[in-house]
Structure 1
Amino acid sequence: MKFNDKIIYSTGEFAAYFGIKKDTLLYYDKINLFRPAGIRSNGYRYYTASQIAPFRTLLSMRELNVPINKLLPYFQNPSAKKLSDLTTSQLTKIDEEISKLTQIQLLLKQLTDSVNEGLNAEYGKVLIVSLSDTYLLYSKQTVTDPETSEEQWADIHNDFIMSSNIPGSSNVGSVLSENDLKNKVYNHINRLFTEGTCHTGRLRKGGTYAVYYHKGLYSHMKHAYSNMFRQINELGYIPVGDAYEEYLIAETASANEEEYVTKITINVKGSCQ
């Protein structure tokens, strides 16, 4: 389209045409991104009608979040190849941002679901549920004292986060070994776990599980396990395998340890099986 370059616009008029501030045009002129067509004898800048289309392209690129440092070489000498390279680069960047935001969305949903589960749980009562196959990512087995201290757990947690390259905000739980449970050792962490995939984790087979929600201090967990095992037996089941602890409400959600909620999950089978 051919424009009539006899039609000229002052800086204010050109800015108003696009609904932007004059300062934007002055800044673009200063950095040599988009310069006026000329300067009048009185020192005022002016723009012409033929500059409307390229400036609209510039604004479109800015709306697409193309950085100014990438627009500078393009507008100095525009070409179809440069435009293709520019948009391809921006698409790659957007794909990376979408992937990051999707991960953030997933972590926020996990955190929300965990807290809500903790708030709505029925504490101190065993529930017998059917769970599907789940892939879990495990830490290496721990080497700690017979009773794992909070400081040791924090160190193991940090090592797990760093070595597994998982976000620090991931829900990380603890595994108590079947052998420790049989020996009534309820404060020794065998390893840590978090949600995984078929590519990154190991399969925890689905089946019949006992679920128990403990509200209160971690130091009272041994009483929670004793109560849980008593109820499992009364319901006609026996525990098999490891126990999985998930900290639904913990330090990040409450400064009061009495409000902490821990979910314990153990595979069970009928006592007559």
Structure 2
Amino acid sequence: MELVYSQEVLLKMERRNTKTFTTGEFATYVGVKKDTLFYYDKINLFKPAGKLLNGYRYYTYDQLKAFSTLHTLRKLGLSIEELKEYISSEDKYKLVQMAKQQTVTVEKEIGKLLQIQRFFQQILSTEEELKHINVGEVYVQQMEKKHIHLSTTSLNTGMNTVEEWSDQYKRFAEQLSLQIPVPIGSLLTNDTLIQERFERVDALFSYSESETEHSRPEGLYAIYYHKGPYSNIESSYRYVTNFIKSEGYSIVGHAYEEYVYDLLRTNNEEEYLTKISIQVKRH
């Protein structure tokens, strides 16, 4: 006599032979929310092993590795569409192709994170530096060589207005492929300083952690912190250059402007703080 079992009985018999999970149990085991499993089922990305007559889903141990692979790829940044394509593909090299694509994406993300890290490190180091200076005083000190990125502005033309500076800033940021704001300073050449054309800027620069074509040379620098609007900075340059002459130094390099406190820190121009560093040597 042949025995006939209902689907539910068969599933129960199967469940006794194979360890199964409810949706909640499986979600807890793999470390996701139940809603994630429901969503994956709905979009046909990852479906349960089966359903009982009451409609409840169940999952098996055999599915753990498949889900782990899927979830790992998801956490690595693959989109739902890419995952569907991967699952449905019969190409055994598909994962290798995806790895190549994702490597490029990850490298870009690492670059962005490094920019963010340098941005905040610069804020912290500058704040520490300010604890040891008096605004309005000129300091002469040895500074180490630092690699810089330099804008392509013509040194003959220069930037004499806020509009020219802003336009060059935009182009320079694009040249650097910046994904976040980073400190960008202004450079006045040695010739500009000697001619006392303090109203102009010759180029823009940004410090670099890696070796570049340009650098701020190692040497002695006269350092001054200009407080107040940029429109008043000419008077600070005259004060510093007069100090350099009176103390027996001569200007032998460029001036580097770094914007310590700017619009990012305060809306009050009277609180702006600009660090001016001019390379000098003693007679």
**TM-score, normalized by the shorter chain, greater than 0.5:** yes
Partner in structure 1 of residue 12 of structure 2: none
Listed as ranges, the gaps of 5+ residues in structure 1 are none
Q: Is the 8 A contact 2:143 2:219 kept in 1?
A: yes
- The alpha-carbon deviation at position 224 of structure 1 amounts to 1.5
| Distance change (3 Å), C-alpha of 1:203 and 1:259 | same
| Distance change (3 Å), C-alpha of 1:117 and 1:255 | farther
Q: How many residues align?
A: 267
Q: Is the 8 A contact 1:161 1:168 kept in 2?
A: no
Give me the whole-angstrom Cα distance separating, in 1, the residues matched to 2:177 and 2:20: 58
Listed as ranges, the gaps of 5+ residues in structure 2 are 1-14
Partner in structure 2 of residue 24 of structure 1: 36
Partner in structure 2 of residue 208 of structure 1: 220
The amino acid of 2:154's aligned partner reads Q
Q: Is the 8 A contact 1:215 1:258 kept in 2?
A: yes
Runs of 4+ residues deviating >6 angstroms: 77-80
119-128 or 52-61, which deviates more: 52-61
Partner in structure 2 of residue 141 of structure 1: 154
Identity of aligned residues (%): 37
- The alpha-carbon deviation at position 144 of structure 1 amounts to 5.6
Give me the whole-angstrom Cα distance separating, in 1, the residues matched to 2:260 and 2:205: 14
- The alpha-carbon deviation at position 187 of structure 1 amounts to 0.9
117-126 or 223-232, which deviates more: 117-126
TM-score by length of 1: 0.78
| Distance change (3 Å), C-alpha of 1:221 and 1:119 | farther
SS in 1 for 2:264: coil
1:193 equivalent in alignment to 2:192: no
- The alpha-carbon deviation at position 82 of structure 1 amounts to 5.0
Where do residues 1-273 of structure 1 align in structure 2 (5 Å cutoff)? 5-18=17-30, 20-76=32-88, 81-82=93-94, 90=102, 93-118=105-130, 121-139=133-151, 140-141=153-154, 143=157, 148-166=160-178, 169-196=181-208, 200-271=212-283
SS in 2 for 1:160: helix
Q: Is the 8 A contact 2:227 2:273 kept in 1?
A: yes
Aligned-CA RMSD value: 3.4
